[in-house]
Amino acid sequence: MPDSQHVLRIEQLRQQLNEHNHKYYVLDQPSISDAEYDQLFRELQALEQAYPELLTVDSPTQRVGAEPSGAFAEVRHQVPMLSLANGFTPEEIQSFHNRIVKLLELDEQQQVELVAEPKLDGLAISLLYQHGQLVRAATRGDGQRGEDVTANVRTIRAVPLKLRGDNIPDELEVRGEVYMPRSGFDVFNQTAEARGVKPLINPRNGAAGSLRQLDSSITASRPLAIYAYSLVIDQNLLPTTHAEVLMQLRAWGLPVSPLVKTVQGSDGCLQYYADIGSQRAQLDYDIDGVVYKVNRLDWQDELGFVSRAPRWAIAHKFAAEEQVTTLEAIEIQVGRTGSLTPVARLKPVFVGGVTVTNATLHNQDEIRRKDVRIGDQVIVRRAGDVIPEVVRSLPERRQQNLLEYQMPTVCPECGSPAEREQDEAVLRCTGGLICPAQRKRSLEHFAARGAMDIEGLGSKLIAQLVDQSLVMSPADLYRLDLSTLSNLERMAEKSAQNLLDELEKSRHTTMARFLFALGIREVGEVTANDLAREFGGIERLRSATVEELEAIDGIGPIVAQRVHQFFGNLQNLEIVDALLAAGIEWPKPQQPDNSAQPLAGNTYVLTGTLEAFSRNVAKQRLEALGAKVTGSVSGKTTAVIAGGDPGSKVAKAEKLGVDVLDETDLQILLGSE
């Protein structure tokens, strides 16, 4: 049994080690040498081994890794981890700032305050703390769902297992970027051979690969670090600005980039971009740009989101890296919608941190404009995660007369004619689902996470099913049996049964997922949600007119036309009917209780600054009463609700004869709750 001296010493060592970790990783002010730290660490380790009943999950010794796990559990993010829109030129950053000024209906000369910070080239991570202790870490994944990598993240010394200070909410989520410092990467690779491990390709791949190790002791051997950049908690507990959020994260013991700075307007952004660019080579970590975020959180709330990105933030990317190599061939890839995309096969070249062998050439017009020919020396560009592209050829280096490249007139996969629609640069195969390439891509899309989410139905298995004529359309997937699947290459009976179980599970879905899975051109997950919410059932949607579709907020004429064309195609309707006959279903939408939705059928537009709450809260409360809230004024608008300093929407409403209400009128409307 441990005596009081041992208990006290263990507590002292933990406090000392946690304090030294904080000084090293957060304050960047180490106060002892590595050798002294290791001595304290080993003493604590020895005491905990002698008295295991005193071991706690937040001890500094609990970062060495656990036994290998079989797989990563799925984590659904309560608040999606969104990506950012990108800007590359000063003009795009100026447009971003002007757009914020316009959306907030500010004075055109006003300079919006933004927080600027380096954009690390690592892996986004979510850290969930309950009562101050780290309980879960998850990767970003597809933004909606990630992987549980808690055991691996616990090995990163820069991540506090227990938060410091007072006034810590019962539950909070920290988001940040895990990265591998260049210095650590260099040391790891220099000693890799002696330790019998493979060198890492680059710091970014090293960080991403380290977090996805099933054996967390491997992660523990990697030199990983983290910078926190945002906080997800009850909005009532948030500070008023993003800068204050970062200060709070630092106070709780989380590392925050020391290069974060508050700037004014687009000029301040561009100056920061230039300053960070000049320091880039001296930093101990890779960055691929900087990020600008509106500082005021109430303005962030008001600006909201578009598709999968916030309107209040943008990533200003650095110029892409470029290298010269040889274009050895051009191959044609056939996409899900029949698009014929020329792909350059290149002599391998190291650019942007990876070895590139393929690059997109986009279409025939781009090939002609860039004067790209097989055998040419070409400039290849890669920026961050962007697909490599051929920038241009170097005709002055041509050794002979090379032929101009011509796109095929027929599909290379099925021989159907390839046609170019009016006002489109893309050539498309006209074969539809008789084209095996389109069928494969369509099935891959159908089975994807955001669609029917059929785990185990990957591209190689789909290729077998299509090539053996076992699956001609998505509905055929639900006719597969154990015997058929078990006879496929690399499909044991257990794998076959797992896939059948996944197919059975996918029969119970949502209308939005089903619509997205159908692969209607221009219909992404957001639009699919809008359509499902508006129509509730397939029958109403398939009979909708273009005008009815266009009337939905967020759906323009092109998307409306695509949806109408899809449901006007007999072959598509047969596939939809076959899928429904196969048992695909979703909960029927509940009929709205008109007594609880007194504003049903009304459409409002909000403008100006409200005093009682933000426009976003007002929007939510109006929608809860059955109203539709849109961003533009039209003849169908019931009324415009104007707060302080309203913009041009009031003038447009008056011109169209639309009622203009003030905040008192809004309170009366909401009073019907």
What residues are annotated to the active site?
119
Count CA atoms closer than 13 A to 73's CA, side-chain side: 9
Backbone angles phi, psi at 387, to 5 degrees: -60, 135
Question: Position of tokens 């104007």?
Answer: 642
Query: By CB neighbour count within 10 A (0-12 exposed, 13-18 middle, 19+ buried), where does 441 fall?
Result: buried
Tokens coding 119? 């954009």
Backbone angles phi, psi at 356, to 5 degrees: -105, 130
128: left (phi over 0), alpha (psi -120 to 50) or beta: beta
Query: By CB neighbour count within 10 A (0-12 exposed, 13-18 middle, 19+ buried), where does 289 fall?
Result: buried
Find the helix or strand (DSSP H, E) in which 41 lies: helix 34-50
Q: How far apart are CA 302 and CA 294, in angstroms?
A: 11
Q: Which residues contact 242 (CB under 8 A, 6 or more apart)?
A: 115, 230, 293, 294, 295, 296, 297, 300
423: left (phi over 0), alpha (psi -120 to 50) or beta: left
**Beta 339-351 vs 321-334: how paired, if at all?**
antiparallel
Tokens coding 643? 């707060």
Residues 371/392, Cβ–Cβ less than 8 Å: yes
391: nearest Cα among 412, 409, 375, 377: 377
Q: Which residues contact 516 (CB under 8 A, 6 or more apart)?
A: 450, 451, 523, 524, 525, 528
- The three-class DSSP label of residue 174 is strand
Neighbouring-strand partners of residue 354: 351
- The three-class DSSP label of residue 555 is coil
Torsional sign, CA 348, 351, 353, 358: negative
Q: How far apart are CA 646 and CA 521, in angstroms?
A: 37
**Beta 287-294 vs 313-317: how paired, if at all?**
antiparallel
Cα distance between the two ends of the chain: 63
Query: What is residue 148's DSSP assignment?
Result: B
C-alpha pair distances (Å), 164 with each of 167, 253, 254, 624:
10, 6, 9, 40
Tokens coding 488? 């496929």
516: nearest Cα among 561, 552, 474, 558: 474
Question: Position of tokens 């009850």?
Answer: 234
Q: How far apart are CA 101 and CA 311, in angstroms?
A: 11
Tokens coding 280? 């880039």
Neighbouring-strand partners of residue 628: 603
Backbone angles phi, psi at 605, to 5 degrees: -125, 130
Backbone angles phi, psi at 54, to 5 degrees: -95, 0
Residues 55/66, Cβ–Cβ less than 8 Å: no
